[in-house]
Chains A and B, each alone.
Chain A
Amino acid sequence: MVSALYLIAAALAAAFLLGLLKEQWRGAAYAVTLAALAFMIWVSAGWLWAFALEGAAPVEIFTAGAEPPFAINLRMGLAEAALTLLINLTGLLSALYLKDALSRLGRRALAVLLIAIMALCGIVLTRDVFNLFVFFELIVIATGGLVLLSDDDHALAAGFKYLIVSQVISVFLLVGIIFAYHATGTLNIDGMAGASLGLKTGGALAFFLMFIAVVAELKPFPANGWALDIYESAHPAFSAIFSAATGAAALYAVDKLLLIGGADWLPVATGIGLVTFVAANILALPQTNDRRLLGYSSIAQTGLVLAVLGQRDILGDATPYIAFGLLASHAVAKAGLYWLSGLVAGRALADWAALRNRPLLLFAFVTFICMLAGLPPFPGFYAKWELARFLAAEGRLALLALILFGALVEAGYLFRWLGYLIKREAPAAETACTPHQATAVFAAVIAGWALGFVWGDLSGRNNLLLVLPLLFALAFLLLEWLPAWTKNTLAIAGMVGWFVLTWTEYDPLRLIFAVIFLIGGAITLLASYAAHGRRIGFYPSAMLMYAGMAMLIRATDSFDFFAAWELLTVGSYFLILRGKHSEPHALSYILFSLGGAFLILAGFALAAQGAPHFDIASLGQLGQPAQPLAPWIFLLLAIGFMTKTAAIGVHIWLPGAHAEAETDVSPMVSGILLKAGLFGLFLLLMTMGRQRLYGIELTHALLWIAALTALLGNLMAIFQEDAKRLLAYSSIGQMGYALFGLALMNHLGWLMALMFVINHYIYKAMLFLSIGGVAKRTGTREMYRMGGLIRMMPLSFIPVLIGIIAVSGVPPLSGFGGRWIFYNAIMTAELRLPLVVIFLAGPIAFLYLFRLIHTIFLGQLKDEFRRVREAPFWIVLPQMIYVVLLLVFAVVPGLALRHVDAYLNRFFPEGGLGWTGPAITSSYGYWNPIAIMIVVGVIFATLLAWLLFVNRRAQKVRQFNIVFAAERPFRPETTHYAWNFFAPYRKAMGFLVQPFVTRFWETLTDLLHTAGDLARRLYDGNGQSYAFHFLAFVVAVFLLRGGV
C-alpha cells in the first residue's frame, strides 16, 4: 500500500514541477496535473479497497520521525480513504471539465488547483489541530485564486467577501488552538480528546472557539452569505469542488473536533446543522438563479450531515453509514449539477430546459435530483430510512419532524426545477458539451448508481438494485432506442409474465390487487399502442410505477414496502409530468406524495422502535415501547396513505394531475395507482384495527373524512367544465366511498371497499380512455365545446354509457353490487351521522355523469367537429375489453368476491355473505345479479323491439332540420346551455365547494416562500455584513448554549 503521505507529497511535487515547466507548455502542465490527481485517486482508492474489502486496520503516519505530541501525525482509515477518494475524484473530474479554462490560465492555476486538492486531503488526514488550521488557510488562499477562474466578474467581489470572513474565522481558530494547547499541552486531536480539554481551565472556551471556527467552514445559517456569493459566481467546476470536496473535508474536520468536545457538544452540532438545513431550504424556495439555488441546497445538505454527526450518541456504529450516505448523495449530485450548470447558457432555472435536447444529459439531471431528494435506490434513501429508525426509537421526534419538513421543502424546489426542465420551452440553441465535460457529468451519474448499489449492499436489507421488477423497469432506460410498440409489447409481456410467476404467492386480497396492478396495467397499456415514434421517457416511468406496485404487494418488511411506495411515486410522477400542461400539477402531486411518504416513514420508524427489521404484519402486535404510540402510528400511516387516495384535505393534487396526464396515462394513474393507497389502508386496518386517541376512535374520524371526501368530490365534479377534471373529481368521490367501506370496520364494509377497488378500476380506466380518445380527436377537453359526437364516435360512446350506469350504481351493472353491499354494511355501522353525508353524495353522481355523457355525445354537433373520426383502434380496444369485464363482473361478481369474502372471515368472522344458490344473501337482504340482469334485459329488449316495430318507418331527422340562430357573442360559452350546467345547484350548494383546502395549501406555500424571500434579504451582499453575521452567529450559539 502506498503511504497516504504521498497524497500530499504528490500534489506538492506536481505543483512544484509545474513551476519548472515553461509557460508555453500548456499541454504538458495539464498532463502533469491530471497525472498527479490520477495518482492521488489511485492511492486513496487502494486504501479504500484495503479497508473495505480486505479489512485492513487504520494506519497512523508519523512525520518528522517523532510521535505526537512532538510531531504532526496523519491517519488513514476507512473514512479517510473514502473521503480522500471523493475529494480527489472531484478534483480530477473538475480539472477535466476545466480543461479550456485551465489551459488558458496555464500552470499557475493548475498549481493552485493541486494545492487546493492537497489541502482538502490534508484536512481529512491530519490529526493535529494546528495542521488543520494551516490546511484551512491553504484552502482559503487556493479558493481565493480559483474563484477567479470564473467568467462572471462578480466572482471578484465574492472572493473578497470570502477572504474577509475567513480572516475573522482564522482569528477565532488560532486563538482557540493556542488556548487549547495551553490547557492540554498538545496539539494532537486525540491527545486533546484524551486530556479532556473541556474540563481544564478555559478549555471549554478554547474548544468553543475552535469548534465554531471550523463549523463556520460548513457555511452554517446565517453565517453563510459569502459562500452563497461564491457558489453563484464561481466557475461551476470550482463550485463543484467547493460544494462536494470542501464540504466533505470540513464536515470531517468538525467530526474530529467533536471527538475533543465529547458528548456535550453533540447537541450543538445537531442544532446548528438542523437550523441550517431547514433555513437554507426555505431560503432556497424563492431562488431563481440556478447556481445560487444549488448553493443553498449544498448548505442545507451539509447542515443535515452535521445534524447527523451530532446524533452519533444514538446512531452509534450506524453513524458512518448514514452520514456517508447523505454526504455521498449530496457530493455526487451536487458536483454533477454544478458541472451541468456549466453547460446551460442561461442562469434562470427555466433556462435548463435547454438540456431537453440532450436526453442523456436530462437523464443525468434526473439522477442527480432523485439522489438529492433521497429517493430510492440512491444512498440518501437508505440513510434517511436508518436515520428515521434511530431518531424515532430514541424519541427524538421533533428532530425527525424538522428533518422531514426540511427534506420536503427541498423536494419542493428540486422538483419544481425538474418540472421547468421537462416542460418549459427549450431554447433553440444546441447545448454544447465537450467530451471532457461529458466525462465529468457521466462519471458522477455512474458514481451515483454505483453508490446506490453499494449502499443497498451494505444495508443488510434487500438491495433495491437487485430486485427484479425494478431492474426490469430500469432496463427500459437502455431500450429507449426501440420503437414504442416494441417496448409496449415488452412491457405487457413483462407484467403478465411477472404475474404468472408470482400469482400463487398471494392471498385472495393481494391477488385482487395483483390482478389490477399487473393484468389491469397490461390492459391499459394496450392503449399505448396508439402512440407513435419512440416515446422517450414513457416506458421507464410507467414501468417504474408498475414495478413499485408489484413490489408493494409482495412486501412484508416495512422497508421493502416503503421503498416500493417511493418507487411507484417517482414513476407515476414522471408519468404525470408527461402531460402537456401538467407541470404545476405534477409538482403538487409529488409534494403531497412525498409528504405522505414521510409520514409513512415516520410511522414505520415509530412502530419499529429501532428494530432493524420490522414486519408490517407486526403492526398488530407492537412491542412495549411502541404500544402506547399505536394511535399516533396509525394516524401517521393513515394520513400517509390517504394522500395517495386523495382524501379531502389532501386531495388538491389529484384533479390536475389526472386531468392533464396523457390519454393512456390517466387510466393508469386513476384506475390503478389510486389503489395503491387503498392497499396501504387495507394493510393498516388489517393489522392495527381500531385505535383510540384522546378518546376519539380513529376509524370514526376516518369515516367522517371518507364521507366528506365522497360528498365534496362528487359535488366538485358537477361544476367542472373540463371532462377529464370531472372524471378526476369523481375519482376523489369514489375513493371516499372505498375509504368509507374500510373505515366501517366490518366484514361487508371491507368487501364493499374491495368491490369499489375493482369497479373503480374498470370504469374509471374505461371512461378516461374514452374521454381521452375524444379529447385527442377534438383537441379540447371543455365539454361545452363538444356535443353530438355520438354520431362521429359511437364506439367511444358505448363505454361512457355503460360506465355511467355502472358508476351511478344503477342496476343491473356492477356498480349496484357495490351499493348493495354498502347498504348491508352500514346496517351494523356504529356511527350514523356520516352515513347521512354519504347518502347526500350518492345522487349527486348522476348530475356529473349526465353532464359528461350529454354534453359530449348528445346535443348539437359543432361545425368544427363535423369531420372528426372515431378514436384510434388501440384506444377503443381496451375500452371494449372493459365493457366486457364490467358486464361479466356484474353478472358473476362471485368470481372475484367470494374468495375475498372467505378470506375476510379471518378478520371478521361475522357478517359474511352467503354464496349458495343464485342469490347472494346477507343477514339483511338478498341480491340476485343474474336474475336482475335477465329481467331488466328482457323488459328492455321487449320494449325496444316494440318501439322499433311501431316506428319502423320513422324518418331520420338531421341536424339542420332544426333552426338555430343568433350571433356569436364575445364569450360564446356563456350562452351555451351546457356551460355552467348546474347553475341552480351551484346557487343552492355552491358554498360547500369553495376552494378552502386549495387556499389553505396555497397560503401555506406562499407563507414559506414569503418567509424565504424576506429572510434571504439578510444576505445584502456586503462583505462586512457577512463578517458581522458570523460574529452574530458565534454570539448566538454561545448564548443559546448557555455559555460554555
Chain B
Amino acid sequence: MQFEWMKIPYALLTLFIVVNFGMLLGAFIQKIGARVGRRHGIPVWQNHIDLIKNYGLRSSITHGTMFYLGPVFRLSGGVGLLLFVPTIHGSEMFSNLSFAGDLILALYFVFFGALGMALGAGESGHPHAAIGVTRGLSQMSMAELPFALATFSIALQYQTLSITDIVAAQQGGMLNWTLFTNPLAVAAAMLSFLGSMMRPPFDVVLAPQEIPIGPPTEYHSSYLALMQTNRALFPIAKIVIYMNLFFGGAASWPVFFFKVFLIYLWSAFVGVVFPRFRVEQSIRWFLVWAVPLGVLSILLV
C-alpha cells in the first residue's frame, strides 16, 4: 500500500478542529454545570485564555526525564486516539490514520496516555500525585469493563472489528443505530462513559475544587498547557468512538458537533444531579449496575 502523504495535513486539520471544539465544548459544559448551581460560570473562551496564559508563563521547572514524558505521553495518547479512529464517516479526508488498526487499537490506545501520565506525575515526588493516580487507575479498571463488554457485544453483532464497517452498518435511518439494535450494550457503555469523563459522581480522582491532588496539580506552564490540550481533546476523541459505535457515527461536521455535544451532555447531566462516590463505592457501583448489563448484552447478542 502506498502511503498518501496528503493524509498528514488532513489529519492535522481534524486535530485542529477537534481541539478547538473540545475547548469550547468543555467550557460550555462547565458553564451549564455552574448555571445549574445558580452560578454564573466561566466564559466559553476561558480554555483558550488559559492555554495562552500557560504558554506565557515564564517560570519553568522540571523534576527529570519522566516529568517531561508525562504530558507527552498524555497528549500523544489523545492525539493518537483521535487519529486512529475515522472522524467523519464516508469522508476519505477525515478518515485520518485509521488504516493502522481497528477498534481494538482504539480500545487499548486509550490507556497509553493514562499510563504515561501516571508515570510523569510520579516523578514529581509528591505523594498526592501517586494517590490520585491509584484512584484513577482503580476506578478506570472497573469503569472500562462495561465499555469493553459492550464493544465486544457489538463486534459480535456486526461480526467485524473495523470501526468503519461498524459505522457503515448503522447507516440508513436512526433505527439502524446500535442504540436501538443493541440497547443493552449501549446502556452498559453509557454507564461506563460516566466513569471516564471525570465528572461527578466519579470525579474523586481529580476532585478538582477542594483537594489539590492528582497529576494536574504537579504541572504548570507549558506542561500544563499540553495536558490542558489533551483535556479538551481526549473526551472528544473518546466520544467519537462512542458515537461511531453506538450512535451511527457522523457523516458531516455539523452532525458531528451535535452528536458529540449531546453525548457530552449526558455526563454533565448526571454530574450535576449526583454527589460524589468514593473509589471503592464507584468500583462496586460499576460492578453491580454496569457490568451485568454488559454481560447480558454479550449473552443476548
Contacts and interface: CB of A to CB of B under 8 A. Distances in A.
B55 interface: yes
Interface stretch (A36-44, A321-329, A587-595, A840-848): A840-848
A928 B63 contact: no
Interface string A838-864: 011011101101110111011110000
A517 B245 CA distance: 43
Measured as residues with beta carbon below 8 angstroms from the partner, the interface class of chain B is 35 or more
Given A810-B109, A850-B118, A981-B134, A950 B80 contact: no
A842 B104 contact: no
A788 interface: yes
Interface in A818-840: 819-820, 823-824, 826-827, 832-833, 835-836, 839-840
Contacts of A844: 141
A827 B298 contact: no
A953 B60 contact: yes
Nearest to B163: A925
A166 interface: no
A924 interface: yes
Interface string B131-164: 1011101101110110011001001100111100
A823 B161 contact: yes
Nearest to A985: B138
Contacts of A854: 118-119, 122, 130, 133
B35 interface: no
B99 A931 contact: yes
B125 A924 contact: no
**Which of A801, A847, A925, A957 counts the most B-chain CB atoms under 10 A from its CB?**
A925
Contacts of A955: 60-62
Interface string A755-790: 000000000000000000000000000000000101
Contacts of B111: 808, 810, 843, 846
B160 A951 contact: no
Contacts of A853: 119, 122
In the complex, which range does the number of interface residues on chain A fall in?
Answer: 35 or more
A517 B278 CA distance: 47
Interface string B25-60: 000000000000000000000000000000100001
Interface stretch (B67-75, B169-177, B253-261, B266-274): B67-75
A943 B115 contact: no
A751 to B, nearest CB: 15
Contact of A962 (B126, B130, B221): B126
B108 A843 contact: no
A847 B104 contact: no
B68 A944 contact: yes
B104 A819 contact: yes
A851 B130 CA distance: 9
**Which residue of B1, B83, B101, B294 has the most chain A CB atoms within 10 A of its CB atom?**
B101
Contacts of B68: 944, 947-948, 951
A895 interface: no
B143 to A, nearest CB: 9
A988 B143 CA distance: 13
Nearest to B59: A955
Contacts of B103: 925
Contacts of A833: 295, 299
Contacts of A801: 119
B278 A984 contact: yes
A859 B130 contact: yes
A556 B103 CA distance: 42
A423 B123 CA distance: 40
Given A944-B68, A953-B60, A956-B62, A820 B104 contact: yes
Nearest to A950: B222
Interface stretch (B87-95, B178-186, B235-243, B279-287): B279-287
Interface in A885-941: 917-919, 922, 924-928, 931-932, 935-936, 939-940
User: Of B99, B109, B125, which is in contact with the most chain A CB atoms at under 10 Å from its CB?
Assistant: B125
Given A820-B101, A850-B137, A860 B125 contact: yes
A954 interface: yes
A950 B54 CA distance: 11
A827 B141 contact: no
A744 B215 CA distance: 40
Nearest to B135: A984
Contacts of B280: 984-985, 987-988
Contact of B115 (A788, A808, A820, A932): A808
Contacts of B144: 843
Interface string B220-232: 0111001000000
Contact of A847 (B66, B83, B141): B141
A816 interface: yes
A982 interface: yes
B112 interface: yes
Contacts of A985: 134, 138, 141, 279-280, 283
A823 B155 contact: yes
A63 interface: no
A850 to B, nearest CB: 5
Interface centre among B122, B281, B291 (most CB of A within 10 A): B122
A804 interface: yes
A943 B75 contact: yes
Given A854-B119, A955-B61, A925 B108 contact: no
B190 interface: no
B295 A836 contact: yes
A790 B119 CA distance: 11
B209 interface: no
B156 A919 contact: no
With a 10 A CB-CB cut-off, give which of A791, A826, A985, A987 has the most chain B CB atoms: A985
Contact of A859 (B108, B115, B122, B287): B122
B1 to A, nearest CB: 6
B100 interface: yes
Given A820-B105, A926-B102, A984 B118 contact: no
Contacts of B222: 947, 950-951
A977 B99 contact: no
Interface string B7-19: 0000000000000
A98 interface: no
A3 interface: no
Contacts of A984: 134-135, 138, 278-280, 283
Contact of A925 (B72, B104, B109): B104
B80 A939 contact: yes
Contacts of A826: 152
B141 to A, nearest CB: 4
A820 B105 CA distance: 8
B283 A839 contact: no
B54 to A, nearest CB: 10
Interface centre among B114, B130, B283 (most CB of A within 10 A): B130
A943 B76 contact: yes
Given A790-B64, A955-B61, A840 B115 contact: no
B250 to A, nearest CB: 21
Contact of B148 (A839, A947, A950): A839
Contacts of B65: 790, 794
A829 to B, nearest CB: 9
A288 interface: no
B284 A840 contact: no
A819 to B, nearest CB: 6
Contacts of B119: 801, 850, 853-854, 858
A989 interface: yes
Contact of B63 (A824, A940, A957): A957
Contact of B298 (A832, A846, A936): A832
9 contacts: A823-B155, A836-B294, A839-B148, A846-B140, A847-B138, A849-B115, A919-B1, A925-B101, A984-B280
Sorted from nearest, which 9 A-B pairs have the closest CB atoms? A925-B161, A858-B122, A925-B102, A843-B141, A984-B279, A988-B283, A931-B100, A977-B127, A987-B280
Given A855-B130, A860-B125, A984-B134, 12 more contacts: A839-B145, A846-B137, A858-B119, A859-B122, A924-B155, A926-B102, A936-B112, A944-B69, A951-B223, A962-B125, A977-B131, A988-B142
